[in-house]
Structure 1
């Protein structure tokens, strides 16, 4: 290559595209007018990532790189490219019509990703690593719950068809009483009884182990979420699992949620028109991230049951003739507005660390405080430990303690 050609290559603007897989990734380079320049395959290793970046930079000034699977197979390359100050965007797979028209191969998909980056069709920022730990813990906790539920269902199924003596003894037990009794079994008797009791004992021990595992994962998840976004975790009705799901949906990138309305649509909480003729109404959205929608639903249910302001709102809407589904839709939309604020801005959380030492210094019991404030002692306990957030109650509690 002559010096003039090398200078022209170094000065031209290029766009990259990456089709990622478990062991390899295919990289394509196009010019700023869409012309194909080159493509090559690299391994998904540190050396492969470095070689892929060198390959891209050798063809000009890299403007944008479109990557398929920035949070899955392409996560490693995305991490290295962003650390090199390169602009990376997330690319969805080509639609079926385009795939039928031009076919499918690694080079074709890589060039398609590059064209998506050039045209601006791919503009979403990739998910970064700030919620990678939360996502891992959340997935592990969910899988523990699913496995525990499956084991409990198996126990119930076995007891339905078990010999009458086993069914009569353990079928009437419920919950942890049944699990504890089955875990202590010493299988004996004829071959059928021994086999059934052995299976029940194994499943019961599995349930107990998964319960302990889920508890440990939940505690770890709570700690990580509280550190990552204390305002979100402290919001009323937001538990560790709910907060984790909302953080995973947000992807650690507030720029992915340009407005509060777009976040509501992302969570399937945006009102959808369902009017016809003289009927003028909206209905629940059935789109968006259903896991995030379920998180908003759980928050709404908790507030409907325990938050006085929400209960007053529900009473007013019921009196106005709205159905329960319509009220929940309105609540989910309001909750989405609050969650968006917690996810995109730093929400100050009033301190509560002084409450327990102040109560103990006055030699006051939880029962005495609860009786004065008209709540249960457990409410005061969870408030002191930071498990429950209730700013109004905290202020009233602190004023009472200071005056006592």
Structure 2
């Protein structure tokens, strides 16, 4: 049963803030004074959604804000969008900082988390409205599923390596494939019980790696087809293939929600942060932003500096000025983020013209 606690309504601008989890959603109504008016916890699902809508009737003009609206909050975001209700997407890191800086010594509970989401929605000026683009959501699901499969394959290969060190004196190369392992196992003829058991386990792992390879290949083909259908020209940029283009598109979730290249850079975590004090003016590396997007731009930059490209020439000029490898790499990385931003803006403009 949901819990409901009511206080006197104060203020004419209320935010219904939601902290979503797999099994439950916790909502807090937050007024302009950043005070909680009511709290409710409901089970995640259609029934819980209907209870939240009834809960929100007390504030007909209230805005909705959800932590991770494209993550655990995606189902709730989709149902609200279907009913014509816009949702502010509050990053989890922003809500966490609000909670730590609020009164209460940073104590953590679902109600405190939801209240932090509401405070962030009431005070932050650059939050984005969550959008439910089914094509983008499907692409992100494919990307995340492939990453899970790749992670599982890596773990399986590591277990196989550990077994083979007990069966083979010299072990096998670091880049182990199912075919290499199978060929090596054919030479193993154990005579004791332990050896037979280890060989059988290794054979099972080889079969599992082959199965994972087939699944990863199939998912990659689906991703390539989705990228081709999207009409993106990101794949024309040096260093971006179908997988990176898919990740950038899925994680960005609409380039037009960024007001400028600088805003996109901040979202990706590639914009330097000012760390000045007194007369000293300096900047430090940002650890904020979407780390998956940051990783995609990093891979693109690494690929470019290894080939005769404009990015490589720019990197070499920085190195010639005495910059370290990491310092020199940041410069082309920042330039590439602008190239990616302009390319995605151009793709959006082209698709709008085509639709018209």
Same fold (TM over 0.5): yes
Given the superposition, is the C-alpha separation of residues 174 and 77 from structure 1 closer, same or farther in structure 2, using an over 3 Å criterion?
closer
Is 1:73 aligned to 2:72, yes or no?
Answer: yes
| Distance in structure 2 (CA, Å) of the matches to 1:332 and 1:231 | 19
Mapping for residues 168-183 of structure 1, pairs under 5 Å: 171=172, 175-176=176-177, 177-182=179-184
Mapping for residues 3-402 of structure 1, pairs under 5 Å: 14-30=14-30, 37-56=37-56, 58-91=57-90, 92-93=95-96, 94-98=98-102, 100-101=104-105, 105-120=109-124, 123-126=127-130, 128-130=132-134, 131-162=136-167, 166-167=168-169, 171=172, 175-176=176-177, 177-182=179-184, 189-228=191-230, 230-250=232-252, 252-254=253-255, 256-271=257-272, 285-346=286-347
Cα deviation for residue 316 of structure 1 reads: 4.5
Is the 8 Å Cα contact of residues 125 and 253 (structure 1) preserved in structure 2?
A: no
The structure having more radius of gyration, on CA atoms, is 1
Instruction: Report the secondary structure of 1:147's partner residue.
Output: helix
The normalised TM-score by structure 1 is: 0.68
| Distance in structure 1 (CA, Å) of the matches to 2:274 and 2:33 | 42
The normalised TM-score by structure 2 is: 0.76
Given the superposition, is the C-alpha separation of residues 79 and 180 from structure 1 closer, same or farther in structure 2, using an over 3 Å criterion?
same
| Distance in structure 2 (CA, Å) of the matches to 1:227 and 1:215 | 18
Bigger share in helix: 1
Cα deviation for residue 289 of structure 1 reads: 3.2
| Distance in structure 2 (CA, Å) of the matches to 1:18 and 1:174 | 45
Given the superposition, is the C-alpha separation of residues 82 and 186 from structure 1 closer, same or farther in structure 2, using an over 3 Å criterion?
same
Cα deviation for residue 332 of structure 1 reads: 0.6
Q: Mean alpha-carbon deviation: is it higher for 196-205 or for 317-326?
A: 317-326
| Distance in structure 2 (CA, Å) of the matches to 1:341 and 1:238 | 15
Q: Mean alpha-carbon deviation: is it higher for 264-273 or for 231-240?
A: 264-273
Given the superposition, is the C-alpha separation of residues 274 and 327 from structure 1 closer, same or farther in structure 2, using an over 3 Å criterion?
farther
Cα deviation for residue 336 of structure 1 reads: 0.6
| Distance in structure 2 (CA, Å) of the matches to 1:45 and 1:173 | 46
Instruction: Report the secondary structure of 1:167's partner residue.
Output: coil
Given the superposition, is the C-alpha separation of residues 200 and 143 from structure 1 closer, same or farther in structure 2, using an over 3 Å criterion?
same
| Distance in structure 1 (CA, Å) of the matches to 2:69 and 2:49 | 14
| Distance in structure 2 (CA, Å) of the matches to 1:287 and 1:323 | 22
Is the 8 Å Cα contact of residues 235 and 245 (structure 2) preserved in structure 1?
A: yes
Is the 8 Å Cα contact of residues 297 and 336 (structure 2) preserved in structure 1?
A: yes
Is the 8 Å Cα contact of residues 266 and 289 (structure 2) preserved in structure 1?
A: yes
Instruction: Report the secondary structure of 1:28's partner residue.
Output: strand
Cα deviation for residue 338 of structure 1 reads: 0.8
Residues 231-273 of structure 1: CA distance to partner in whole angstroms, max 9, x if unpaired?
A: 22332210123223322432x1335533212322333323467
| Distance in structure 2 (CA, Å) of the matches to 1:275 and 1:105 | 35
| Distance in structure 1 (CA, Å) of the matches to 2:124 and 2:318 | 44
Given the superposition, is the C-alpha separation of residues 51 and 174 from structure 1 closer, same or farther in structure 2, using an over 3 Å criterion?
closer
Cα deviation for residue 204 of structure 1 reads: 1.6
Instruction: Report the secondary structure of 2:140's partner residue.
Output: helix
| Distance in structure 1 (CA, Å) of the matches to 2:207 and 2:99 | 47
Is the 8 Å Cα contact of residues 237 and 299 (structure 1) preserved in structure 2?
A: yes
Given the superposition, is the C-alpha separation of residues 324 and 69 from structure 1 closer, same or farther in structure 2, using an over 3 Å criterion?
closer
| Gapped regions of structure 1 (runs ≥ 5) | 1-8, 350-404
Cα deviation for residue 31 of structure 1 reads: 5.1
Is the 8 Å Cα contact of residues 16 and 118 (structure 2) preserved in structure 1?
A: yes
What's the Cα RMSD here? 3.7
Is the 8 Å Cα contact of residues 238 and 304 (structure 2) preserved in structure 1?
A: yes
Instruction: Report the secondary structure of 1:89's partner residue.
Output: strand
Instruction: Report the secondary structure of 1:61's partner residue.
Output: coil
Is the 8 Å Cα contact of residues 99 and 106 (structure 2) preserved in structure 1?
A: no
